[in-house]
Every structure is written in structure tokens, then in C-alpha cells.
Amino acid sequence: MKLRVVSKKLYNYIRYDLKEIAFPSSLPDPPDIKKRRKLTWTERWYVLKEASRLYAASWVRNIGPDLRPNEYKNKSKYSGDTPFDKKEPSLLEDLAVAARGGAETLKPALHRIYMTRASAYKDSLKYFIEGYQSGLKQILQQKEDKSFAQSNDMKKST
């Protein structure tokens, strides 16, 4: 009898509990979420192909038109000839390159970001103070003009 009970418990453990431990089921979605349709095999193949191509392209430092042709379709063939068309890397690109290099390259990049933000803050604060002072001067001038005009009116009436 004991062997039968032990074997039944072992069978149930393997059948239900071990499966849940090895492959846990996720929580059910909230009721307002709409489920997406399943992708067809051709769509899956396209997603896998595009993802692997972009992954391979991410390891190349200079991602050009040969790796991302869809992004370069609309540009004319003369657009790259002038020096004005060359763009500086964006903040995220700069950080991504620095992060790949490690802490030694990340520290100067973060320092550069902090310094540009600090200079922008300093400049905006300076312009705000200048505008505030000019507005204050205008208000004080208007008050002086009014008081001067009122004093002249008082002298004329007497």
C-alpha cells in the first residue's frame, strides 16, 4: 500500500509540479488586453532574417547604406558631397560607443555630457537674468514717468 501511495505522489509531482517548476506558466493577461494574432511562417522568417541582419550590423562601427538600405533610399546621390551634410553623432550613439569601450571611455563621455548640460543651464540662467533685469528696468521707468506726470499735474492745478 505504501509503495502505491508513494508512486502516485511521485507521478503527480512529476506530472504537475515539476513541469511548473521547469517551465513556469506566466500570469494571465488583464481582461482589457487584446491578443495579437500569431505570425505566419513567412512573417516569422522575415522577422528572424531582419533581426539577424540588424544584429550583425550592430557589430560594425560604421553602419552605412549597404547594411541599412531602407534608411538611405530617399537621400539623393549628391547629399554626401558637402561638408555641411555630415552630422555629429547623437548623444545616445556617443554613449553607446563609449559604453562598448568600457569605463575608461565612458567617464570622459559622461563628463562631456555633464559639461554641456551645465553650460546650457548657465547660459539659460544668464539670459533669464538679463531679461528679468530689462523687464524690471522698464517697469521702474514706467513708474517714474507716471510719478513725474502726476507731480506735473499737481503743480499745474495749484
- Determine which helix (DSSP H) or strand (DSSP E) holds 102, and give its type and residue range: none
Number of domains the chain contains: 2
Residue position matching grid coordinates 522698464? 138
Select the more confidently predicted residue: 123 or 63: 123
User: Is 47 or 18 the better-scoring residue by pLDDT?
Assistant: 47
- Does residue 120 share a domain with residue 56? no
Asked if residue 85 lies in contact with residue 79, where contact means CB atoms within 8 angstroms, the answer is yes
Mean pLDDT over 94-99 rounds to: 78
pLDDT score, position 105: 78
Residues in the chain, overall count? 158
Query: Are residues 157 and 107 part of one domain?
Result: yes
Indicate whether 64 and 106 sit together in one domain: no
So what's the pLDDT on residue 65?
60
Q: Which of 19-33, 37-51, 57-71 has the lowest average pLDDT? A: 57-71
Domain with 66 in it: 40-74
Tens of pLDDT, residues 69-96: 566 565 555 555 555 556 776 777 777 8
6 in any annotated domain: no
Output Rg (C-alpha) for the chain, integer angstroms.
35
Percent of the chain residues past pLDDT 90, beyond the cut = 22
Burial class (CB in 10 A: 0-12, 13-18, 19+), 96: middle
- Non-local (6+) Cβ contacts of 61 within 8 A are 97
Question: Does any domain span residue 23?
Answer: no
Check: CB of residue 105 under 8 Å from CB of residue 98: yes
Residue finishing a domain among 23, 50, 74: 74
- Smallest CA-to-CA distance from 11 within 1, 23, 3, 25 is with 3
110: CB partners within 8 A, 6+ apart? 95, 98
- Percentage of the chain beyond pLDDT 70 is 79
Compute the average pLDDT of residues 26-53. 87
Q: Hey, CA dihedral for 110, 113, 119, 125, is it positive or negative?
A: negative
> What's the DSSP call for residue 41?
H
* Domain identity same for 100 and 154: yes
- Do 64 and 92 have their domain in common? no
Grid coordinates representing 123 are: 547660459
* pLDDT value for 34: 85
